[in-house]
Structure 1
Amino acid sequence: MTVADKPSIGFIGLGVMGKSMAGHILKAGYPLYVYNRTKAKADELVEKGAIWADSPKEVAEQAKIVFTIVGFPQDVEETYLGENGLITHGKEGTYFVDMTTSSPSLAKKLYEEGKKKGIFVLDAPVSGGDIGAREARLAIMVGGDKDAFDYVLPLFEVMGKNITYLGEAGAGQHTKMANQVAIASGMIGVCEALVYAKKAGLDVQKVVDTISTGAAASFSLSSYAPRILKEDYTPGFFIKHFIKDMTIALNEAEKMGIDLPGLALAKEMYEKLAAQGEENSGTQALYKYWDV
């Protein structure tokens, strides 16, 4: 796409990740319409040239491609199929891309509902947290029609680095579920390693520096262990949203007849923290599960 023929873009959901993602699109020179339930979160983007829209309906009426990244599956359904929803008011030939981590079955439903109106719907959840969003190096996992993926790809490349087309509608969400399954048990391992090192009387930072270059290396260890050591539990990803993701993954696993005991344990541990008031902390706050 040349500068002259860049389509108008919509972005709905300007939270921890969405605000940065929308900012990259604006910086790349695309006309950008934005909507968020809390209008104040859009102020910085509007000051930089984004156009405020009063509802998803208004975004659908103005934009050729619309990205959404909202909280929970019920929020996704309302954003797309509600009275002021995108699909409800969308025009034939437009592209809607849900980047929320949501239910694979809902992704398929949105795809089918969009198809009835000649609207292309992609499920494209992301991984990389607030850091990946800020640095435009998210992993983006996409399900839906290949032609629609190819059309939207230049926009994905503005927001991420590892962009993969996985297959039919719902495939992106299933891939994100696999990602969350891996992270869930992995975060337990990171926290247990820090607890062990501290109880052993070691310099925990030196331990992290050492093991992060070997077989224990992981994004969670490199990105979140330093935050834990600084007692920084601000959210790159909210505990409440992670519990939502794990619930979806366990439900999908049950449908497929598989048992995921590691994931079930992680969900139980995070739910205990949420009950103690940590639901709006970052996932690294799992470290607080141990009284050390």
Structure 2
Amino acid sequence: MVQTKQNTTIGFIGTGVMGKSMVNNLIEAGYPLVIYSRTKTKAESLIEQGAKWVQSPKEVAERANVIITIVGYPSDVEEIYLGENGLLENGRKGTYMIDMTTSTPTLAKKIYLEAAQKQIHALDAPVSGGDIGAREARLSIMVGGEKEHFEAVSPVFEALGTNIVYQGEAGAGQHTKMCNQIAIASNMIGVCEAIVYAEKAGLYPETVLKSISSGAAGSWSLSNLAPRMIEDNFEPGFYIKHFIKDMTIALAEAEAMGMDTPGLALAQSLYTRLAQAGEENSGTQALYKYWK
């Protein structure tokens, strides 16, 4: 059954930088929301808008028939889905469970198989687009799982993003997100080096961006994150600590496939140095500080 506003109650777990905006968009789209976060105070603005806060993933599972999670680490995903008081243990038959965390393909497959035994429909659907994409409902959403389940919850995805692509069986969404993170990792090095080079050459970086961001060098990071570097704005649209987690997953998956990824390895090493210097909670554009 296609999940419309009339037959859907959405449960949402994880109201951080991206999750909060995603919940806002679902409320504006007219869906009833049940939300859970470890810190209730962080969800106060969502509660004021009509979302109902509950005290555990178990309560979310009991009250919602479409559940979205976007949390920090694979260990968080595993606890929320597979723990004793988790979603699968307490979810109802026919519920759609969508993990939008960037996690491991292996865990996505494990959740899918255990969910199927309980006649629960699990999808892995990580996103790209950062805080801006989440706020403006322009996320790229890459989905793994059964196609009929993807089609059933497509209206929910459409309230969150504009580039929504079914990628294949369980785990395919997470593998696609690894491709995304690999591409970003090396690109961020180039963006930072270009801005620092412009500064050292005595150019105005803002003017340089006007020339290069719309040409062959153009990228989302160059257009959206380079201006933040120039303004010394290192607030997180996406945390360095979470990017390191993603790169670590990608490196492990690439190694398992016998693939060498020198660009990804270099980016991970640079970001790890920044994290060790106290920048783990800064946005990924803080890589600029490596040169400064």
TM-score band by shorter chain is over 0.9
Cα distance in 2 between the residues matched to 1:81 and 1:27: 31
Q: Which residue of 1 aligns with 2:240?
A: 239
Matches within 5 A, 1:106-255: 106-255=107-256
Q: Say if 2:4 and 2:155, in contact at 8 Å, map to a contact too.
A: no
Cα distance in 1 between the residues matched to 2:205 and 2:20: 34
Percent identity between matched residues is 65
| 1:264 equivalent in alignment to 2:265 | yes
Q: Say if 1:31 and 1:50, in contact at 8 Å, map to a contact too.
A: yes
| 1:283 equivalent in alignment to 2:280 | no
Counterpart secondary structure, 1:7: coil
The code of the aligned residue for 1:42 comes to A
Q: Say if 1:6 and 1:30, in contact at 8 Å, map to a contact too.
A: no
Counterpart secondary structure, 1:163: strand
Structure 1 unaligned runs (5+)? none
Shift of 1:30: 1.1
The code of the aligned residue for 1:12 comes to I
Q: Say if 2:105 and 2:174, in contact at 8 Å, map to a contact too.
A: yes
The code of the aligned residue for 2:62 comes to E
Cα distance in 1 between the residues matched to 2:163 and 2:259: 28
Shift of 1:223: 0.1
Please, what TM-score do these two structures have when normalized by structure 2?
Answer: 0.98
Cα distance in 2 between the residues matched to 1:255 and 1:2: 37
Q: Judging changes above 3 Å, is the alpha-carbon distance between structure 1 residues 232 and 269 closer, same or farther for their aligned structure 2 residues?
A: same
Counterpart secondary structure, 1:166: strand
Cα distance in 1 between the residues matched to 2:6 and 2:89: 27
Cα distance in 2 between the residues matched to 1:89 and 1:161: 32
Q: Which residue of 1 aligns with 2:96?
A: 95
Q: Judging changes above 3 Å, is the alpha-carbon distance between structure 1 residues 2 and 262 closer, same or farther for their aligned structure 2 residues?
A: closer
Cα distance in 1 between the residues matched to 2:122 and 2:184: 27
Q: Say if 1:139 and 1:160, in contact at 8 Å, map to a contact too.
A: yes
RMSD, aligned α-carbons: 1.0
Matches within 5 A, 1:71-86: 71-86=72-87
Counterpart secondary structure, 2:72: coil
Structure 1 window deviating more from structure 2 (25-34 vs 216-225): it is 25-34
The code of the aligned residue for 1:157 comes to E
Q: Say if 2:98 and 2:123, in contact at 8 Å, map to a contact too.
A: yes
Cα distance in 1 between the residues matched to 2:126 and 2:287: 23
Instruction: Show CA shifts across 1:164-223 (max 9, x none).
Output: 000000000000000000000000000000111111111111001110111011000000
Q: Judging changes above 3 Å, is the alpha-carbon distance between structure 1 residues 113 and 42 closer, same or farther for their aligned structure 2 residues?
A: same
Counterpart secondary structure, 1:164: strand
Q: Say if 2:5 and 2:30, in contact at 8 Å, map to a contact too.
A: no
Q: Say if 2:3 and 2:156, in contact at 8 Å, map to a contact too.
A: no
Shift of 1:4: 6.8
Cα distance in 2 between the residues matched to 1:2 and 1:101: 24
Shift of 1:5: 2.1
Shift of 1:14: 0.2
Cα distance in 2 between the residues matched to 1:30 and 1:128: 22
Q: Judging changes above 3 Å, is the alpha-carbon distance between structure 1 residues 25 and 4 closer, same or farther for their aligned structure 2 residues?
A: closer
The code of the aligned residue for 1:54 comes to Q
Aligned length: 291
Please, what TM-score do these two structures have when normalized by structure 1?
Answer: 0.98
Counterpart secondary structure, 1:5: coil
Shift of 1:6: 3.3
Cα distance in 1 between the residues matched to 2:280 and 2:48: 31
Counterpart secondary structure, 2:98: strand
